[in-house]
Structure 1
Amino acid sequence: MFHPNFHPTPGQLKAIKGVLFAAALLPFLRLVVFTLTDRLGANPIEFITRNTGDWTLYFLCITLAVTPLRRLTNWPWLIRLRRMLGLYAFFYACLHFLTFLWFDHFFDLQEMWKDVIKRPFITVGFIAFLLLIPLAVTSSNGMVRRLGGKRWQLLHRLVYLIAGLGILHYFWMKAGKNDFAQPILLGSIVLALLLFRLWWAWSQRRVRAAAPARRS
């Protein structure tokens, strides 16, 4: 069992990362198995599109939850898992976009662009995907050093905007079926995580402001 003072050894952390990597790959492997065994249902393209889109949002939420969980548990090592989770969000977003580009438009970029412009729910989803690209490209330690910590953090705060756009994309997509339960749930999770971040920043400012008064 983990406890508040748990700090994994390098070997334990490597094992945790390995288990997490394998678990995060399972939705993709499930899609592959379902494709090979003809279990994608009556509308395979819709199944793949919805599944990859869902897991993009799930991994965005999980990635956003890492920092609050680290602060609540005092497990600083959790931050070492965030990059992998974020890259998995990008991986499933790429699969989601590839499904749209391949099966809906057969790699016809002009027709795809017309669809992006014409349909608002695709527009916001496409913008969210484009914003994910610089976050994935700058996820390495080398890019953190090149950008500098403050600029890197400022750039990666876009993840909240990306999550919001992704949920709006999902909400509009569900509007035709009048099925809003899951978009509302995911939106509530993202909002709660954002409010926690704002509360934490406010509380830390209060602590820093009170420190000089205690010393005097």
Structure 2
Amino acid sequence: MLVDRLNGWARRISPNWLYAAAVIPVLWLVWQLNTGALGVDPVKRIEHSLGLWGLQMIVAGLCITPLRRLAGVNLLRFRRAVGLIAFAYVTLHLTVWLLLDLQLRWGQIWGDILKRPYITVGMAGFALMLPLALTSNAASIRRLGAAGWQKLHRITYLAALAGVIHYIWLVRTWQAEPILYFLAVIGLILLRVLWSARSRRARTAPVA
């Protein structure tokens, strides 16, 4: 069966290959920058690409549990790598904005964060991702306990929601792509809420 083959492939592939693959798009951007292929505003192209890749990886990470529960495809061993890659792309997105776009003009930076809603939401999403990245290691799981670690990492859904709202407000028009990301995140959140409600009902149901 296809699912069995996919699961067999997932067991054989090391998550480290994901980290190596994640470098390729960045190298591609560097090559395009050096060849002038990024157009008249290369900084904006780089900034947008990195942010979009970060959002895509966040959504991919949210899809891992539904894939296992609904389709039987087990990619759980890749979840940490996907989350850290998402954080790396978002961090690079923010770094390009700070260093290349605004050139560390802190007055303008703080003004934009406070006055422009899409930047405010984007920074909130980044702040939500920080504790997730810092606790994506075995030592944190031991320190927090499995239950505490899982509760903390539910923040991923809020970070994803902040990311898609940031994207929608950034483009300022009702384009299809950001709306599709928004609907995907809302759907994944609703699935999580549904499964959590069922789990609570199962725990509190009287034993026959």
Q: Determine if the TM-score, normalized by the shorter chain, exceeds 0.5.
A: yes
Tell which deviates more after alignment, 137-146 or 112-121.
112-121
* Residue aligning to 1:114: 111
Percentage of identical aligned residues: 40
Moved more, 104-113 or 47-56: 104-113
CA contact (8 A) 1:60 1:89 kept: yes
Moved more, 197-206 or 90-99: 197-206
| Correspondence for 2:29 among 22, 25, 31 | 31
User: 2:169 aligned with 1:201, yes or no?
Assistant: no
Question: Which whole-Å CA distance do the structure 2 matches of 1:5 and 1:11 have between them?
Answer: 10
Q: Which structure 2 residues correspond to residues 65-144 of structure 1 after superposition, within 5 A? A: 65-76=63-74, 78-144=75-141
Higher deviation after alignment, 28-37 or 181-190: 28-37
- Counterpart residue type for residue 144 of structure 2: L
Is the 1:124–1:165 contact (alpha carbons within 8 Å) kept by the matching residues of 2?
Answer: yes
On the 8 A contact 1:52/1:93 being kept in 2, the answer is yes
CA–CA distance in structure 1, aligned partners of residues 100 and 6 of structure 2:
47
Contact map agreement 1:4 1:73 (CA 8 A) in 2: no
Query: Who is 1:50 aligned against?
Result: 48
Conservation of the 8 A alpha-carbon contact between 2:3 and 2:73: no
Is residue 149 of structure 2 the alignment partner of residue 149 of structure 1?
no
Residues 194, 104 of structure 1: CA spacing in aligned structure 2 closer, same or farther, 3 A cutoff? same
Q: 1:21 aligns with which of 19, 22, 26?
A: 19
Q: 1:79 to 1:28 in 2, by over 3 A?
A: same
CA distance in 2, matches of 1:172, 1:183: 9
What count of residue pairs does the alignment treat as equivalent?
208
Could you tell me which runs of 5 or more consecutive residues in structure 2 were left unpaired when the two chains were aligned. Answer: none
1:170 corresponds to which residue?
A: 167
Structure 1 residue 200 displacement after superposition: 2.2
2:184 — aligned with what?
Answer: 189
Q: In 1, Cα distance between the equivalents of 2:11 and 2:119?
A: 43
Change (3 A) 1:202 1:38: same
User: How much has 1:73 moved relative to structure 2?
Assistant: 3.3
What is the CA-CA distance between 1:35 and the residue it aligns to? 1.2
Counterpart of 1:102, as a letter, is L
Using a 3 Å threshold, how does the CA distance of structure 1 residues 206 and 43 change in structure 2: closer, same or farther? same
Cα deviation digits, residues 180-204 of structure 1 (max 9, x gap): 2111100111111112222223334
> Does the CA-based 8 Å contact 2:43-2:96 persist in structure 1?
yes
Q: CA RMSD in A?
A: 2.4
TM-score (norm 2): 0.89
> Is the 8 Å Cα contact of residues 5 and 75 (structure 1) preserved in structure 2?
no
> Taking structure 1 as reference, are residues 211 and 30 closer, same or farther at Cα in structure 2, changes over 3 Å only?
farther
Contact 2:63-2:188 within 8 A present in 1 as well: yes
CA offset digits 1:107-126 (Å, max 9, x no partner): 23343112211211111111
Q: Using the TM superposition, give the Cα deviation of residue 134 of structure 1 relative to its aligned residue in structure 2, in angstroms.
A: 1.0
Per-residue deviation, residues 76-126 of structure 1 (Å, max 9, x unmatched): 4x2110000001110110111011101222123343112211211111111
Structure 1 residues 144 and 110: CA distance shift in structure 2, 3 A: farther
